[in-house]
Amino acid sequence: MYQPSEARYETMTYNRCGKSGLKLPAVSLGCWHNFGDDADPQRMKELIFTAFDAGITHIDLANNYGPAPGAAEKNIGRILREDLAGYRDELIISTKAGYEMWPGPYGNFGSRKYLLASLDQSLKRLGLDYVDIFYQHRPDPDTPLEESLGALETAVKSGKALYAGLSKYDGPLLREAVKFFAERHVPFVICQNRYSLLDRTIEQDGLRQAVLDEGLGLITFSPLAQGLLTDRYLNGIPSDSRMASGSRFLNEDALNPELLEKLRKLNGLAAERGQTLAEMALAWLLQDEAVTSVLIGASRPEQIKTNLKAMDAAPITAEERAKIEEILA
C-alpha cells in the first residue's frame, strides 16, 4: 500500500496563481504522454508516486490524452481510487476539452454542448465529483467567445470545477475573456500555453504581458521543446527517440543544422553554469516572473527527480540572459 513521503512539502515551492488564492507547485506533472493504454500500469503508478513524494500536487490532464483518447483520465482515475483516495484534498486535478473526442459535430472545438458534455465524461473517467481546474483547450474561431466562456462559467457554478482556465489563447483574446469572467464573478485564474527557450510565441502575441497585467497564473507546457532542449539530440537523432519514431509533434525536419548549432552553444553555456541543457532551460522558465508552474512529462521516475534539480539552480544573470538571446537570435 502506497504511503506518501512525510517530507513531501519540505522542498517544493508553491506559487500563487496571479491574484487568486490558488497555489500550484513550481513543477507540475503533465499526462500528455506515458499514461495511455499502451503504458505499463505499474510504471504509471511509479511516476505519480514519485511526483507526489516530491511535493508535485498538480496533475494535468485533457480529455483527449491517451492513446486512446480518454485513456489518461481513466488510468489516473484508477490510481486516484486505488492509491490516493485519502489524499484528494491535497491534489490539484485539471483537465481540458477542445479537441476531437467523438464523431459528429458535437465532439470537437468550443460549443457549449461539447465542453459541458466532455466535462461530464471526464469526471466519470476520473471517478471524481469535480476537477480543480477546467480549461477550454483551444479557442474556437467559429463559436462565439461568450458561448465557450459561458460553458466554463456553468462548469464552475455547478460545482463540477473549482476554477476556470484557458489554453492557447493570445493576449488580446485573453483580455476579452478576463472582462467576461470578471463581470460574472467566475474564478478564472490560469492560462496554459507553450513556452520555452525555443518557442517565444506568448511574448510576441501579448499573452505573457496580459497575464502579468491581469493578475493571472501561467502554466507552461513543452518546456523542453519535446526533448530538443536536452542532450538527447546534440549528436544526431537516436534510433529510439520520439523524433525517429515519426512523431507528428517532433519530426526530423525540426533539427536542421542551424538549430543544432544553437542547441550546442546553449549546452555549452549550461555547462559553464554547472548544469545540463535541460536544467538551464527549466531554470529559465522557473525564474520568469510570469510563470506560475512548469509542466513536465516523464517516462521514468528518474526524469522527474532530475527535472526538479532546476528549482535549485543559481539565478540566471543578466549577462547569461543576454548570451542566451544572442545564441538564439
pLDDT tier, 53 (very low <50, low <70, confident <90, very high otherwise):
very high
Cα 107 to Cα 233: distance, rounded to the nearest angstrom:
37
The values of phi and psi at residue 276, to 5°, are -80, 165
Query: pLDDT by residue (tens digit) across 58-109?
Result: 999 999 999 999 999 999 999 999 999 999 999 999 999 999 999 999 999 9
pLDDT at 239: 57
Alpha carbon of 67 to those of 31, 79, 231, 269, 307: distances in Å? 11, 17, 27, 37, 25
Q: Which three cell numbers stand for residue 256?
A: 536542421
pLDDT at 306: 96
Do residues 223 and 288 lie in contact, with contact meaning Cβ atoms separated by under 8 Å?
A: no
Q: Which stretch of DSSP H or E encloses residue 194?
A: strand 188-194
Query: pLDDT by residue (tens digit) across 247-272?
Result: 655 666 678 999 999 999 999 999 99
CA 108, distance to chain mean position in Å, is 21
Do residues 134 and 95 lie in contact, with contact meaning Cβ atoms separated by under 8 Å?
A: yes
pLDDT tier, 279 (very low <50, low <70, confident <90, very high otherwise):
very high
Q: Which three cell numbers stand for residue 34?
A: 506515458
**110 or 1, which is more confident?**
110
Q: Would the pLDDT of 245 be above 80?
A: no
Domains of the chain: 14-234+278-317 (3.20.20.100)
* Residue 314 neighbours by CB under 8 Å, 6+ apart: 273
Cα 145 to Cα 162: distance, rounded to the nearest angstrom:
21
Average pLDDT along the chain = 95
Cα 305 to Cα 318: distance, rounded to the nearest angstrom:
28
